[in-house]
């Protein structure tokens, strides 16, 4: 049966012309002797013929090529368009991939960011040097730091670090551009006001110098315009102030009392000493880094010994090649350029908890809300100034100064009549002059402001009459300033000079007014004459 099937297949292939010559020969031999095969062959031929004749192929398509090429062209254009949008598409795809990746690996970005932050932090930590040394700060600067709470970073550009309190009473640091006011000779004036002898002066110097050394590592700077501030700086500010005040009080109590504002109560020296000692013993390696592009808090170990050794080496080099070192020192330019787009790095959780940063076009402030700073009671200059300002808010600026006394005046008495200020209502001031020697008070800007005496009455001449001055004594020996009665301050010499000038001005004005009056009436008469009818 299988052979028959195979023979039939051979016949099928035979009529299709698919047999080899041997197969054809073999098949034809079989066909010659076997009728069944011949019959099958006829049958297969018939089926083949029927198949060929029956199947009608589809009619020719006239538009197939047109359709194909019409579809190919947009496809080509699509490819071109796709190539054109490929970059955008790639970015979008990449962004989606990144989002998906970060969705399932959220920590990677944080870790990456943290590592990068560390790199940035390390970069800005390089080569940090004490500001007090590199900026060439003097005892005068340290003294001003104690009293004015500002240290110059770059005197040429009036850039400084400023310490202050915000509205909530929290301490802050601020790097201000164009904010530094140079109060020169304050220290010297203070020493003179206290009438310190040479030994006491040297002691004062040594106190300030000691703080200069102690504070070395509290403000660090480098050539990358980084300023690293240790929050302990605030404590040092208070310590220096307290130390100076205690020393001054003990050095010359009589003079010291004169320059202190009313109500100021000093702490006992042992208390201050203990507090200063405590502050000096504290050490923190936490710094707030102000950099051109970031503000962050991080730990930093400043090696004082190593730095001291470097300084020694530098001294030697200085001897060797003075000019070169000078040039290098000149190149060390401290300049903090604040960028409006400062980025804050959240290096650790301390950021949110311990300080906040406020930045504007010319300052950069870091508030220290939770950093522990021991409280020290200072004379409340601010409240004194505020009280004076409140009482004098309706007055224009005016400075009283007294002339150099020739041994005649020993009492100054004046009176201010006020109709709308409760604080100044019927103010009657009597000042005994003999004890009013020159003081240091003008050294403090806060007290300086006290010198400004504002009176609204002076802007009109009639009101000036309400002031009654009585200069009765001649025992006033020194030109100078004093304050009493809530810190009113006068300078006799300047005041008298101003009064004289004022009198001259008034006389001039009076003369001008009289002249004007004469001219007016004369003109009026002339006009009247002109208007009279003319006789013809």
Partner 1 sequence: MKFKRKKTGLENLKILNLDDDFSLIKRFIEDDESAFETLVHRHKDKVRNIIFITLGNGNTVDDIAQEVFLTVYKNLKSFRFQSQFTTWLFRITVNKCKDHLRKVKIRNIISFFKEDEEEPGYNISYENINTAEIVQKAIEKLPEKLRLPLLLKDIQGLSYQEIAEIAKCELGTVKSRIFRAREGLKNILEPFRQELMS
Q: In a 10 Å sphere around its CB, with 0-12 CB exposed, 13-18 middle and 19+ buried, how is residue 443 labelled?
A: buried
Nearer to partner 1 by C-beta: 71 or 435? Answer: 71
- Shortest Cβ 43–partner 1 spacing (Å): 6
Distance between CA atoms of residues 21 and 29, nearest Å: 12
3-state percent breakdown (helix, strand, coil) of the chain, nearest 5: 55, 15, 30
- Shortest Cβ 83–partner 1 spacing (Å): 15
Nearer to partner 1 by C-beta: 30 or 394? Answer: 30
The residue behind tokens 């010559």 is 21
- As a dihedral over the C-alpha atoms of residue 76, residue 77, residue 80, residue 84, rounded to 10 degrees, the angle is -160
Q: Which residues contact 130 (CB under 8 A, 6 or more apart)?
A: 216, 217, 219, 220, 221, 302, 307
Nearer to partner 1 by C-beta: 45 or 286? Answer: 45
Nearer to partner 1 by C-beta: 24 or 325? Answer: 24
- Shortest Cβ 28–partner 1 spacing (Å): 18
Residue 9 within binding range of partner 1, rule CB under 8 A: yes
Question: Judged by CB under 8 A, which stretch of 7-15, 131-139, 253-261, 263-271 contacts partner 1?
Answer: 7-15
Starting at the earlier edge strand, list the strands of the sheet with 286-290. Answer: 129-130, 219-221, 227-229, 286-290, 294-299, 343-344
Nearer to partner 1 by C-beta: 79 or 185? Answer: 79
Could you tell me if 398 and 453 are in contact, meaning their C-beta atoms sit under 8 angstroms apart? yes
- Shortest Cβ 59–partner 1 spacing (Å): 8
Residue 31 within binding range of partner 1, rule CB under 8 A: no
- Shortest Cβ 55–partner 1 spacing (Å): 5
Nearer to partner 1 by C-beta: 77 or 119? Answer: 77
Angle CA 37–42–44, to nearest 5: 90
Nearer to partner 1 by C-beta: 73 or 197? Answer: 73
- Shortest Cβ 31–partner 1 spacing (Å): 16
Residue 4 within binding range of partner 1, rule CB under 8 A: no
The count of residues interacting with partner 1 (CB under 8 A) is 31
With CA atoms as reference, report the closest residue to 178 among 336, 293, 358. Answer: 336
Q: Which residues contact 482 (CB under 8 A, 6 or more apart)?
A: 431, 433, 435, 436, 439, 489, 490
With CA atoms as reference, report the closest residue to 402 among 440, 438, 448, 450. Answer: 438
Residue 281 within binding range of partner 1, rule CB under 8 A: no
Question: DSSP alpha helices (H): ranges in 17-138?
Answer: 21-33, 35-54, 64-104, 106-125, 131-134
Nearer to partner 1 by C-beta: 69 or 104? Answer: 69
- Shortest Cβ 49–partner 1 spacing (Å): 9
Question: Judged by CB under 8 A, which stretch of 11-19, 102-110, 146-154, 487-495 contacts partner 1?
Answer: 11-19
Nearer to partner 1 by C-beta: 13 or 311? Answer: 13
- Shortest Cβ 15–partner 1 spacing (Å): 9
Could you tell me if 252 and 258 are in contact, meaning their C-beta atoms sit under 8 angstroms apart? no
Residue 18 within binding range of partner 1, rule CB under 8 A: yes
- Shortest Cβ 33–partner 1 spacing (Å): 21
Site residues for partner 1, window 32-71 (CB under 8 A)?
A: 43-44, 47-48, 50-58, 60-61, 63-65, 67-69, 71
- Considering just the CA atoms, what is the radius of gyration of the chain in Å? 49
303-310, Cβ contacts within 8 angstroms, sequence gap of 24 or more:
304/216, 304/217, 307/129, 307/130, 307/216
Where do contacts with partner 1 occur on this chain (CB under 8 A)?
8-9, 11-13, 16, 18, 43-44, 47-48, 50-58, 60-61, 63-65, 67-69, 71-72, 75
């Amino acid at each position: 049966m299988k052979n028959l099937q195979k023979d039939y297949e051979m016949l099928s292939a035979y009529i299709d012309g698919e047999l080899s010559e041997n197969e054809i020969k073999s098949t034809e031999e079989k066909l010659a002797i076997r009728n069944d095969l011949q019959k099958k062959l006829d049958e297969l031929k018939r089926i083949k013929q029927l198949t060929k004749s029956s199947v009608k192929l589809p009619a020719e398509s006239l538009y197939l090529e047109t359709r194909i090429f019409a579809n190919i062209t947009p496809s080509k254009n699509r490819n071109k368009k796709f190539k054109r949008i490929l970059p955008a598409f790639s970015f979008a795809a990449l962004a989606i991939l990144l989002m998906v990746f970060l969705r399932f690996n959220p920590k990677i970005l944080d870790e990456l960011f943290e590592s990068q932050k560390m790199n940035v932090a390390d970069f800005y930590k390089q080569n940090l040097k004490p500001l007090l040394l590199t900026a060439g700060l003097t005892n005068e600067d340290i003294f001003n730091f104690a009293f004015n709470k500002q240290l110059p970073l770059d005197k040429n550009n009036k850039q400084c670090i400023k310490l202050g309190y915000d509205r909530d009473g929290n301490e802050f640091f601020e790097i201000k551009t164009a904010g530094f006011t140079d109060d020169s000779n304050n220290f010297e004036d203070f020493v003179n006001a206290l009438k310190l002898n040479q030994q006491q002066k040297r002691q004062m110097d040594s106190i300030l110098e000691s703080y200069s050394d102690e504070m070395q590592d509290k403000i660090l700077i480098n050539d990358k315009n980084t300023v690293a501030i240790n929050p302990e700086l605030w404590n040092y500010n208070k310590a220096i102030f307290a130390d100076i005040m205690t020393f001054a009080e003990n050095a010359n109590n009589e003079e010291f009392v004169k320059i202190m504002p009313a109500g100021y109560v000093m702490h006992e020296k042992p208390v201050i000493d203990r507090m200063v000692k405590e502050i000096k013993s504290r050490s923190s390696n936490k710094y707030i880094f102000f950099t051109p592009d970031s503000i962050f808090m991080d730990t930093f170990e400043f090696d004082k010994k190593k730095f001291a050794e470097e300084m020694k080496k530098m001294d030697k080099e200085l001897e060797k090649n003075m000019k070169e070192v000078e040039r290098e020192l000149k190149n060390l330019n401290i300049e903090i350029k604040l960028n409006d787009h400062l980025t804050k790095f959240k290096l650790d959780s301390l950021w949110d908890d311990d300080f906040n940063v406020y930045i504007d076009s010319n300052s950069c402030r870091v508030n220290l809300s939770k950093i522990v700073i021991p409280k020290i009671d200072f004379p409340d200059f601010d409240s004194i100034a505020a009280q004076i300002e409140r009482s004098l808010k309706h007055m224009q600026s005016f400075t009283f100064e007294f002339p150099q006394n020739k041994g005649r005046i020993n009492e100054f008495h004046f009176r201010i009549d006020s109709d709308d200020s409760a604080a100044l209502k019927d103010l009657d001031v009597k000042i005994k002059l003999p004890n009013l020697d020159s003081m240091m008070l003008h050294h403090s800007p806060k007290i300086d402001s006290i010198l400004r005496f504002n009176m609204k009455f002076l802007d009109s001449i009639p009101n000036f009459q309400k002031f009654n001055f009585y200069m009765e004594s001649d025992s006033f020996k020194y030109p100078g300033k004093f304050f009493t009665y809530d810190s009113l301050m006068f300078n006799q010499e300047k005041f008298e000079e101003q009064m004289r000038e004022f009198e001259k001005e008034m006389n001039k004005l009076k003369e001008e007014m009289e002249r004007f009056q004469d001219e007016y009436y004369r003109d009026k008469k002339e006009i009247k004459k002109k208007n009279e009818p003319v006789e013809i």
